[in-house]
Structure 1
């Protein structure tokens, strides 16, 4: 009986303790439950030009060109979509004017690069044309802007993204149907650098001819001198060296 009474007393205490804890919980201030959202992010796929061509033809990927307008106008893949990651900076505040002037006198002059800033409407513009489950092949000239654009779109919920490693500069002529005045791999070349290349080619050709003419003249002069001193004589139409006695 003692053991039984002890068990009953213990059971009552446990019940009282549970009730007490329940009452304390009721007196606590109410805290709303926070919903945890689980975001599934896809991994960006980096491919070469031949693999990119297969993604377009077989897997139905759409091409999204993120270069600036000047490079896009020189050459771009046929039937692609153009949403630049950087746009031309036309702000007229003092700081921007100074930076634009310095840029135009160096990078703009020598390499034909426009003075740009990040496109604040890039993600919204892409979302206006594609759904987040669309298959997109992002392209730029060297591969850096397409990788940055892929990161932004991935954060926005796009899951099927691919980029061409090293960009369009690594694409061989004829790989894609293109539109423009030049080949895709040359669309990033502009400014004085292109003129300098042509000038260097011309000067190099002139220099080669000058060196060749100089060598011929020097060889002819040396031959005359050797004949004059009796080291060479013509015999049977061939020049032979006279051996000393």
Structure 2
């Protein structure tokens, strides 16, 4: 009589040596991820004087991430311009409504263009600069430069610096610039600037009137008593 035999394969045994190797590999991987996290946290925020030193002594390249209008008003000579935000010319209904509201308020009073995030920002930077490039990122108020640094940090850049509070905090003459105005004033536009000039003129007129009434009260009284009929 034939006897059928069944062979049941036992599961492979994991040696303590292999188990220890796997645990070591896991610890190394976690340690590596922690080091990467620490490296990615290194964005250097400096004032305008320190920024100038980074450019002149340590070979940092200036990357201007402001919009086109502010860059054209004033920018640091030899800087590279890659805007973080670009003008939004989309023609869907929602964008048209938002653009109309913006242009009638923020655009009119503050001279701010209606913009959106530049979808090609990181790609353009990578085409211009290698990952080990030293970049000094500048904007007008310091917010866009910090956001741009965060994007570039995630993309693999490590040598990044930003000017705290932006170019508006730079003293006149801190950097050699080009444009129709000073670097610190490049963000000022719209009716706000005109209103400021009008307010200055009115203030001067009122001060002169006050001084005239104070030192020449009789003449002032005669002028106030004059009527068009006379």
Contact 2:149–2:160 under 8 Å retained in 1 = yes
Which 4+ residue blocks in structure 1 deviate beyond 4 angstroms? Answer: 33-38, 219-222
Q: For 1:179 and 1:115, locate their aligned partners in 2 and report how far apart those are by CA, in whole Å.
A: 24
Q: Which has the larger radius of gyration?
A: 1
How far is the alpha carbon of 1:124 from its aligned partner? 0.5
Contact 1:88–1:116 under 8 Å retained in 2 = yes
Query: 1:218: which partner in 2?
Result: 217
Is 1:23 the counterpart of 2:22? The answer is no
SS in 1 for 2:144: helix
Contact 2:212–2:220 under 8 Å retained in 1 = no
Q: For 2:211 and 2:201, locate their aligned partners in 1 and report how far apart those are by CA, in whole Å.
A: 15
Query: 1:113: which partner in 2?
Result: 112
Contact 1:42–1:159 under 8 Å retained in 2 = no
Contact 2:213–2:220 under 8 Å retained in 1 = no
**What TM-score do you get using the length of structure 1 for normalisation?**
0.75
Alignment gaps of 5+ in structure 1? 1-19, 27-32, 223-245
The aligned runs of 1:95-114 (5 Å cut-off) are 95-114=94-113
Is 1:51 the counterpart of 2:38? The answer is no
How far is the alpha carbon of 1:214 from its aligned partner? 1.3
Alignment gaps of 5+ in structure 2? 1-7, 14-21, 222-230
Give the number of equivalent residue pairs.
Answer: 196
Q: For 1:68 and 1:221, locate their aligned partners in 2 and report how far apart those are by CA, in whole Å.
A: 52
How far is the alpha carbon of 1:23 from its aligned partner? 3.2
The aligned runs of 1:65-84 (5 Å cut-off) are 65-84=64-83
How far is the alpha carbon of 1:41 from its aligned partner? 2.5
> Are residues 140 and 221 of structure 1, via their aligned partners in 2, closer, same or farther at CA, if it must alter by over 3 Å?
closer
